[in-house]
Amino acid sequence: MKRAFVVGHPIAHSRSPLIHNHWLGVHGIAGSYERLDVAPDAFADFMRALPGSGYAGGNVTIPHKEAAFRLADVLTPRAERIGAVNTLVVGPDGQVQGDNTDAPGFIAHLDQSLGADWPERTGGSTLVLGAGGAARAVVVGLAERGLGRILIVNRTPERAAALVALAPGVARAVAWDALPDLLPGTGLLVNTTSLGMAGHPPLALDLGPLPGRAAVADIVYAPLETPLLAAARARGLAAVDGLGMLLHQAVPGFAAWFGLRPAVTEDLRARIVADLRPA
């Protein structure tokens, strides 16, 4: 029986067990996927013990993504580029490989939601709001997808400037107060800040100047319908929520641990939506 995990601290909130146990059930695989709460001072020991633990690998979440990046035996080029690891795979030789599947997860969800021709249809620049950990994966994903012009805007401008190196020649950092002037030339607007998340203020941005062909994506998924997405829909723009990124980032890990590439279906999505709904 193959076993995998999600490790974080705290970990009770993680929806990953719901996702992976759904796939194990659908495909009749005799495996398990468990939540592991490991404090930061115990994480290095956890990583060292992984090869003999019986786990095929697992997901890594807050606050361990950077530590997993430092402690993995080998990194995929994408994890190396992003500087964080969210997926671990224990190889047959006992080596622990660190990958980052947030970037392809974000892009797979955009492609599924908007259709594969969205870069041509939406036109213009891609505007990324935020420059935290998730923004690194989003910028790398967009650059890998071939987007030619990525503008990054962040409250702390130095962090936006630091992200430019992830997509040289394509990404550029722009000041927050330039936003109203940037919107008319924007094809895709992506919120990667925590604004709009439950317990945080909404993202206050007038979407009026966006062109009618533009799309708006928010990677916040709690709540599923953020004020930003509601405003985009009210304007008749295509709106892409954050849940799909969470579902799609799980696919490569499951494939590596359990030997089968699962699908992100409406049924799976409905299960997670039901779980996200406040009691």
Q: What is the nearest approach in angstroms of ligand NAP to the Cβ of residue 144?
A: 17
Say which amino acid occupies 170. Answer: V
**Residue number, 122 or 249, with CB nearest to ligand NAP:** 249
Q: From the candidates 15, 64, 65, 248, which is the catalytic residue?
A: 65
**Residue number, 202 or 208, with CB nearest to ligand NAP:** 202
**Residue number, 109 or 214, with CB nearest to ligand NAP:** 109
Q: Give me the residue whose beta carbon is nearest to ligand NAP.
A: 132
**Residue number, 2 or 159, with CB nearest to ligand NAP:** 159
2 part of the active site: no
> Where do contacts with ligand NAP occur on this chain (CB under 6 A)?
102, 130-135, 154-156, 159, 192-195, 197, 219-221, 242, 245-246, 249
**Residue number, 39 or 176, with CB nearest to ligand NAP:** 176
- Could you give the 3-state DSSP secondary structure of residue 223? coil
- In eight-state DSSP terms, residue 206 is -
Q: What is the nearest approach in angstroms of ligand NAP to the Cβ of residue 65?
A: 8
Rounded CA gap, 109 and 82, in Å? 19
Rounded CA gap, 278 and 199, in Å? 13
- In eight-state DSSP terms, residue 165 is G
Q: Tokens 């950990």 identify what position?
A: 133
Q: What is the nearest approach in angstroms of ligand NAP to the Cβ of residue 76?
A: 18
- Could you give the 3-state DSSP secondary structure of residue 2? strand
Q: Which residues contact 89 (CB under 8 A, 6 or more apart)?
A: 56, 57, 96, 97, 99, 253, 256, 257
C-alpha distance across the termini of the chain, in Å: 34
Q: What is the nearest approach in angstroms of ligand NAP to the Cβ of residue 56?
A: 22
| Dihedral (Cα; 145, 147, 148, 152), 10-degree rounding | -120
Q: What is the nearest approach in angstroms of ligand NAP to the Cβ of residue 84?
A: 9
- Catalytically annotated residues: 65
